[in-house]
Amino acid sequence: MFKRLMRKELTSSPEPKTPEYAVALSGKDLLKQPKRTELISRVKRLFSVTEQVWNKHYLYAIEQFAELVQEVPASEIHHHSESGGLIDHTLEALYAGVRISQGYILPPNAEPESIAESADRWRFAAMIAILSHDLGKIVTDIEVVYRLPEKQFQIWHPWYGNIPPGAAYRYRFRRKIENTRLAKTLHEKSAMSLLPRLLTKEAATWLFKDLELISQLFSTISHSTFGGQVIAEIVRAADGASVSKNVGANTGKKADHTNTVPLYEKLIVSLRKLVNDGDLKRNKPGAAVWVTDQDTWVVSKATMEAVRIQLINEGHSGIPKNVVTLFGILNDHDCLVPNPDGDSVWYAEINDHGKNWQQKLTFLRFKNEIIWPTSQPDMFDGTVTPIDRNGTPLEISRVVEPNPEAGEGHLDHLRIESHNNEHNQKAPKVATGPVTSKITTAHKEKGGAEPEEAKEKQSQARAQPGSKAHGLTSEKAVEHWKTKREVQEDILRDNDFLAWLLKGIARRQIRVNEPKAPVHILDGHIALVTPAIFNLFLDKNSLKKRLYEKRAGDKRVYTVLQRELEVLDIHQRGTDGQNIVTVSVEGQRSKSELKVYLLNRACFPSLRAFAANPAIKIHL
């Protein structure tokens, strides 16, 4: 795995102190920097322990941590990504965490007489948990080679000792595995393997006198979903305080605004983090990000809404509520490749030939060097074809030379011409034209109006029998489906909600075609009663509900699930373009209306055995 890197190093100058190498130092020497010394002094003042105890156990743990991680960064592209960032981030979090812990009664729910005896032990455990919370990154995320003077390079693994002091070393981030959620879990779990390196024998014995504390400590360090309790709360708050301060969030304190991070840079960094953490899927059906040889195509509105929520959750203030404003900010700072009309939103068609999946979406188009400055991600094994508003493919005609007055950072923009130049001259601008996208439309994002012809057709459709007023059978409604698509069911099962839905129907855990049922099966549709079916999914999956709540921000949680279904484009919209359609249920004695999400039944062969509900009429 390291042969190429090691071969390159062996041909370099043998001098170990050249600028391209770092030199391993002892923990004590690494902590001699004034900023680090000051933070450690502040932490020390927060503990009421003797000098001897501090040096033997507390300072020992900090020095062991520093010597173990050396000057590696805390992340590749997000917070504290500079050399030495992991030490600096952890010391900042340590100071914040010890202060936060003083606001807790420790141990929690303890008898008053036992608090004085155990409080120091619990705060020491919180300190160890903070030191360990990112320690697993040197096991799974970062790879290091080192050499002693006049020796060959060798691979270092932290399980088998520290890098020898005085050795020249070099690090790089490992290539991330395709399953980014698994990659993140690996570094969280692996920190436990290095925990003994931070503790003296006496400190470990002291901690093990309280097994409840040990349980919380182990659960926190291994990032278990349950069991961390108060120790996990302290670590999360401390980690968040350090991250927010580093990425320029509003921490509530006055700061030197000469170091303020521009908003466009925050947007790029947050987008990278969401992709690398697996919160945004990449290069697969239903994904938000598609990477080609030169460009990264990002599904416009839904993705930037996720970025906006991420920044708000990190504590940033002044984030615009309208994502279209974010488009303009990125475009104004040359972060985007503009479309032929100079606007930010592109229409494009995704073709995944291997999975027989095709989709037309609206995108923001970034140059790869903007999103991936230090690494090259996996490429999409398919095609992304720019199209005009009528679905006609565009072709690259020539590269426009950059404006010399725009400076060195100005991007070379591609000028696109349509295959049909005559039609292109008559067509309105892409950003204000009518909808052909499967997720959202540029004319809605820009506040544009619908063409008069479309309005007239919609008004005529409403006036016809069997439309809004009279209702349509499912078979008739299918005839009004302009862009009906079929996707293989096994691909759709990759969606958590649809997998749960089909499993629940198969096991008869979800009622179908009954009074007050959340699902009705029609001749050509699967009608999902909204928001009932989406809320049922969230209630049955509490862990996933927390993730969706984080992504939803100030919006209703079930709307995040609906947006994920929109991406698949297997639902029928109403004549007004709305995703939610009204249906009427006509019984012998009563008539009622439901709001439903209409999916294409042809995509679900496992539901063929169900008879259609004849009592439902669709009002498009």
CATH code, 472: 2.40.10.200
User: Can you spell out the DSSP letters for 266-331?
Assistant: HHHHHHHHHHHTTSS-BSSTT-SEEE-SSEEEEEHHHHHHHHHHHHHHHT-----S-HHHHHHHHH
467, 407: one domain = no
Looking at the fold, whether 266 and 330 belong to one and the same domain comes out as: yes
**pLDDT reading at 519 higher than 90:** yes
pLDDT tens digits for 17-40? 334 688 989 989 999 999 999 999
Mean pLDDT of 499-507: 88
Residue 255 lies in a domain: no
Q: Are residues 233 and 291 in the same domain?
A: no
Question: Is there a single domain that holds both residue 513 and residue 441?
Answer: no
Confidence of residue 463 (pLDDT cuts 50, 70, 90): very low
- Which of 90-99, 136-145, 478-487 has the weakest average pLDDT? 478-487
3-class secondary structure, 350: strand
Q: Are residues 40 and 107 in the same domain?
A: yes
Asked whether residue 131 carries a pLDDT value surpassing 80, the answer given is yes
Beta bridge partners of 529: 596
340 pLDDT tier (thresholds 50, 70, 90): confident
Q: 177 and 211: one domain?
A: yes
Long-range contacts for 497-505 (Cβ within 8 Å, ≥24 apart)? 497/534, 497/537, 497/561, 497/564, 497/565, 498/565, 500/537, 500/540, 500/541, 501/528, 501/533, 501/537, 502/604, 502/606, 502/607, 505/607
Burial profile 368-393: b = 16 or more Cβ within 10 angstroms, e = fewer = bebbbeeeebeebebebebbbbeeee
Q: What is the pLDDT of residues 155-188, one digit of tens each?
A: 999 998 899 988 999 888 876 654 455 555 677 7
Lowest mean pLDDT of 168-172, 277-281, 528-532, name the range.
277-281
Are both 467 and 563 inside the same structural domain? yes
Of the ranges 261-275, 385-399, 439-453, 489-503, which is most confident? 489-503
Residues 6+ apart with CB under 8 A from 438: 359, 360, 361, 483, 566, 567, 569
- The reported pTM is 0.45
Q: Report the chain's terminal Cα–Cα distance, integer Å.
A: 58
Residue 485: burial class (beta carbons within 10 Å; 0-12, 13-18, 19+): middle
Instruction: Compute the distance between CA of residue 358 and CA of residue 474 in angstroms, rounded to an integer.
Output: 25
Residue ranges of alpha helices (H) inside 343-495 are: 368-371, 421-426, 442-445, 452-463, 474-479, 489-492
> Cβ atoms within 10 A of the Cβ of 97, count?
28
pLDDT at residue 17, as a whole number: 38
E runs forming strands in 120-243: 142-147, 154-156, 168-173
Higher pLDDT, 367 or 185: 367
Residue where a domain stops, chosen among 190, 219, 245: 245
598 in a domain, yes or no?
A: yes
Specify whether 297 is located in the same domain as 436: yes
Cα distances from 60 to residues 64, 67, 121, 123, in angstroms, run 6, 11, 16, 16
Instruction: Judge whether 251 lies within some domain.
Output: no
Q: Which domain holds residue 267?
A: 261-448
Q: How confident is the model at residue 428 (pLDDT cuts 50, 70, 90)?
A: very low
Q: What is d(CA 158, CA 178) in angstroms, rounded to the nearest whole number?
A: 24
Yes or no: say if 384 and 337 are a contact pair by the CB < 8 Å rule: no
Q: What percent of the chain has pLDDT over 70?
A: 77
Six token digits for residue 281: 């899927």
Is 221 contained in some domain?
yes
Confidence band (pLDDT; 50, 70, 90) for 405? very low
Q: Beta strand 289-291 with 154-156: parallel, antiparallel or unpaired?
A: unpaired
Helix, coil or strand: residue 375? coil
In this structure, the answer to whether residues 223 and 269 fall within a common structural domain is no
Q: What are phi and psi of 572, to 5 degrees?
A: -100, 130
With CA atoms as reference, report the closest residue to 266 among 207, 217, 330, 204: 330
* Span 234-247, average pLDDT: 80
Tokens representing 382 are 């398919």
pLDDT of residue 588: 61
- 116 CA to centre of own chain: 43
How many C-beta atoms surround the C-beta of residue 431 within 10 A? 23
314's tokens: 């990190």
Q: Tokens at residue 94, please?
A: 């340590």
CB 249 within 8 A of CB 143: no
Mean pLDDT of the chain: 77
Q: pLDDT tier at 374 (50, 70, 90 boundaries)? A: low
Question: Exposed (0-12), middle (13-18) or buried (19+): which is 20, by Cβ within 10 Å?
Answer: exposed
Residues 409, 371: Cα–Cα separation, whole Å: 14
For residue 513, pLDDT over 90 is answered with no
DSSP designation for 70: T
Of the candidate ranges 76-80, 347-351, 492-496, the one whose mean pLDDT is the lowest: 76-80
In 3D space, the residue among 291, 307, 294, 386 whose CA is nearest the CA of residue 341 turns out to be 386
**Domain count of the chain?**
3
Residue 321 lies in a domain: yes
Is position 457 within any domain?
A: no
Residue 61 in this model has a pLDDT that exceeds 90: yes
Point out the domain boundary residue: 188, 213, 245. Answer: 245
425 and 517 inside one domain: no
Of residues 216, 203, 241, 206, the one with CA closest to residue 108:
216
Is 439 inside any structural domain?
yes
Neighbours of 144 (CB within 10 A): 20
Listed residues 448, 481, 509: the one ending a domain: 448
Q: Looking at the domain assignment, is residue 577 inside a domain?
A: yes
Of the pLDDT bands very low, low, confident and very high (cuts 50, 70, 90), residue 501 is very high
How much of the chain, in percent, has pLDDT values that exceed 90?
Answer: 18
Identify whether residues 114 and 214 lie together within a single domain: yes
pLDDT at 183: 55
Q: Do 143 and 209 sit in the same domain of this protein?
A: yes
